[in-house]
């Protein structure tokens, strides 16, 4: 079910941009990236039957499909109507999508087992508010994944964006230390949090053949902070 509230927020991805985003995952680079990203997401999110997950910035529903395939119930929200239209075409009639801003989620406290923000924090006007909302509705269980500012991929994308029109002009690339700072601002004073992190796609975008995956997995396992895709699991300790 796709709900259309009266307040639509900013439509970050429109028309051809939304189509191009979804189509990229069908390219050889996109398939390589998504396969390693999904391995890391699954390891840290641990979707399973009985979990009720909110995916903030769900885009065209790639992660909703991943979580649903492992038995979790998923509710997706995004600020782009065009992205949600594409997402709706992929999902079963029982799956739920909503047009909403991550900084102001229309859910009561503790509605979900866990909240995921996968490459969505970078585009929020107020990432601190986005984290606060995720903690509020997700019982303190939050998963973040961002485009890592310390990666080779980010350097290439940021450089290219200086010379041609690109969505990456609008992206706030973040690193592990940026995220720690945001978390300290978002989590109420006196409350502690447990954090675990990993990054993947360290050789991306130059080497995207299947036989490079073992190298990428090895670098992920040893804890390199330079992967293009940086993922964190956060649990607020009440």
* SS3 of the chain: CEECCCCCCCCCCCHHHHHHHHHHCCCHHHHHHHHHHHHHHHHHHCCCCCCEEEEECCCCCHHHHHHHHCCCEEEEEECCHHHHHHHHCCCCCCCEEEECCCCCCCCCCCCCCEEEEECCHHHCCCHHHHHHHHHHHCCCEEEEEEEECCCHHHHHHHHHHCCCCCHHHCCCCECHHHHHHHHHHHCCCCCEEEEEEEEECCCCCCCCCHHHHHHHHHHHHCCCCCCCEEEEEEEEEC
Q: Copy the structure tokens of residue 202.
A: 């360290």
pLDDT-derived band at 20 (thresholds 50, 70, 90) equals: confident
Contacts of 171 (CB under 8 A, 6+ apart): 122, 123, 147, 157
Measured distance CA(17)–CA(210) in Å, rounded: 28
pLDDT-derived band at 211 (thresholds 50, 70, 90) equals: confident
Q: Mean per-residue pLDDT for 206-233?
A: 91
Q: Copy the structure tokens of residue 43.
A: 């390891």
5 pLDDT higher than 70? no
Residue 1 vs residues 16, 67, 90, 169, 176: alpha-carbon distances, Å: 23, 17, 12, 33, 36
Looking at residue 6, what is its pLDDT? Answer: 33
Looking at residue 10, what is its pLDDT? Answer: 45
Q: Copy the structure tokens of residue 6.
A: 């009266």
pLDDT-derived band at 1 (thresholds 50, 70, 90) equals: very low
Contact of 215 with 203, CB cutoff 8 Å: yes
Alpha carbon 165 to its chain centroid, in Å, reads: 23
**pLDDT digit string (tens) for 21-30?**
888 898 999 9
Measured distance CA(91)–CA(72) in Å, rounded: 14
Look at the alpha carbons of 221, 222, 228, 233 in this order and tell me if their dihedral is positive or negative: positive
pLDDT-derived band at 4 (thresholds 50, 70, 90) equals: very low
pLDDT-derived band at 161 (thresholds 50, 70, 90) equals: confident
2-237 falls under which CATH superfamily? Vaccinia Virus protein VP39 (3.40.50.150)
Which range among 108-117, 123-132, 158-167 shows the weakest confidence by mean pLDDT? 158-167
Looking at residue 93, what is its pLDDT? Answer: 59
Looking at residue 237, what is its pLDDT? Answer: 84
């Amino acid at each position: 079910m796709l709900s259309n509230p009266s307040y639509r927020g900013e439509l970050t991805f429109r028309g051809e941009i939304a189509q191009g985003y979804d189509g990229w995952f069908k390219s050889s680079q996109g398939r390589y990236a998504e396969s390693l990203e999904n391995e890391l997401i699954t390891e840290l999110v641990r979707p399973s039957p009985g979990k009720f997950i909110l995916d903030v910035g769900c885009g065209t529903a790639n992660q909703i499909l991943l979580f649903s395939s492992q038995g979790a119930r998923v509710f997706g929200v995004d600020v782009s109507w065009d992205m949600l239209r594409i997402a709706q075409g992929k999902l079963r009639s029982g799956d739920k999508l909503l047009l909403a801003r991550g900084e102001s989620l229309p859910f009561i406290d503790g509605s979900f087992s866990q909240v995921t923000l996968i490459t969505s924090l970078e585009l929020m006007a107020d990432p601190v508010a986005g984290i606060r909302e995720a903690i509020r509705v997700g019982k303190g269980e939050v998963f973040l994944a961002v485009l890592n500012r310390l990666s080779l991929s980010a350097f290439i994308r940021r450089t290219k964006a200086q010379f041609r029109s690109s969505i990456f002009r609008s992206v706030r690339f973040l690193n592990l230390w940026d995220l720690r700072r945001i978390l300290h601002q978002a989590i109420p004073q006196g409350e502690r949090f447990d954090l675990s992190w990993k990054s993947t796609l360290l050789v991306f975008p130059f080497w995207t053949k299947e036989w490079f995956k073992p190298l990428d997995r090895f670098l992920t396992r040893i804890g390199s902070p330079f992967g293009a895709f940086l993922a964190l699991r956060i649990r607020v300790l009440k």
